[in-house]
Structure formats: C-alpha cells, structure tokens
C-alpha cells in the first residue's frame, strides 16, 4: 500500500505557553518575536464583566497544520523549542515561571502515530518544560482512505 499526502487527513496543532506571577506579556512577545494568540497579566479579569481574575500572567502561541504522512510530526514542536531555548534566561527574567507545550492531533481516518525525536524531548527537558499530548480520533468510515473494497486507497 502506498500512501500519498492526499490519502491521510490529520490535523495537528502545537501550542507553547508561558505562565508566571510577574509575567510581562509584552516583554515575552519582544523576546520571542511571535504574536501571541492569548495574553493576560496576573490580576486581570478572565472574562469581561466578571470578578474572576487570573492568578498569574500567561502568554500563548499556537501553530497548526494539516500534515502528510511523510512529515515528521514533531517538526513544529521542535521549531518552537528552538525559538525558546536560546532565550530561556531572558524569558525567566521577564517573569516566566513555567513553560509548557500542548500537542494536539486529530485523525479523521483513525490512524494516529506520534513520534517525538529524542533530540526534541531532550531540548524540552533542557528548558524544563512540560509536554501535554491530546489525541482525538474523529474516525470517519466514509473517508476515501477506507473506500476501495476494504483496502486502503493508494
């Protein structure tokens, strides 16, 4: 069976998060050079019009894509770690107490293979970050991958 990029439908996203009691979101953006998806300072309201306040500041950035079967699925994670690692001391000075990544994979054909390279995991460890992985099997038996006489289509 030969698979082509069009035969597999997987969506993935990788999110990096920084949190800290004294976190300065503007400084984090300046250091990393990426525009965050969400930011807040400690003490700011969680939602407009509520009294529920953030206990600590946060900064998050997300990248997402449809991958193909030949792409190493830790590529975006590795890129984000590479963007952070040289600046970890400056980030700590800007109030970062905790760094963590969310890696999310959704499969519409029921195939979910995740490979994190040893070097990527080592880099995550060097910056003392956590990695959370979520997988969603959104299996669709009508997907063309499953439609050729019970055989996967090439």
Which residue blocks in the chain are alpha helix, DSSP H? 25-32, 75-84, 88-93, 118-126
The band of 70, judged by pLDDT with boundaries at 50, 70 and 90, is very low
The band of 121, judged by pLDDT with boundaries at 50, 70 and 90, is very high
pLDDT tens figures, 5-20: 454 555 677 889 999 9
The bridge status of strand 130-137 relative to strand 98-107 is parallel
Mean pLDDT value of segment 98-118: 78
DSSP state of 49: T
- CA dist 19 → 28, 30, 134, 136 (Å): 10, 16, 20, 26
For the chain, the structural domain boundaries read: 5-146
């Amino acid at each position: 069976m030969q698979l082509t990029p069009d035969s597999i439908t997987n969506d993935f996203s990788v999110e990096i998060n920084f949190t800290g009691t004294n976190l300065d979101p503007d400084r984090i953006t300046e250091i990393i050079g990426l525009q965050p998806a969400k930011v807040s300072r400690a003490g700011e309201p969680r939602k407009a019009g509520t009294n529920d306040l953030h206990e600590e500041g946060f900064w998050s950035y997300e990248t997402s894509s449809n991958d193909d079967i030949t792409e190493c699925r830790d590529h975006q994670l590795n890129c984000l770690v590479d963007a952070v690692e040289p600046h970890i001391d400056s980030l700590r000075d800007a109030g970062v107490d905790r760094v963590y990544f969310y890696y999310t994979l959704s499969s519409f054909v029921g195939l979910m293979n995740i490979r994190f390279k040893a070097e990527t995991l080592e880099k995550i460890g060097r910056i003392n970050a956590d990695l959370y992985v979520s997988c969603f099997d959104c299996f669709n038996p009508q997907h063309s991958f499953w439609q050729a006489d019970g055989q996967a289509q090439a």
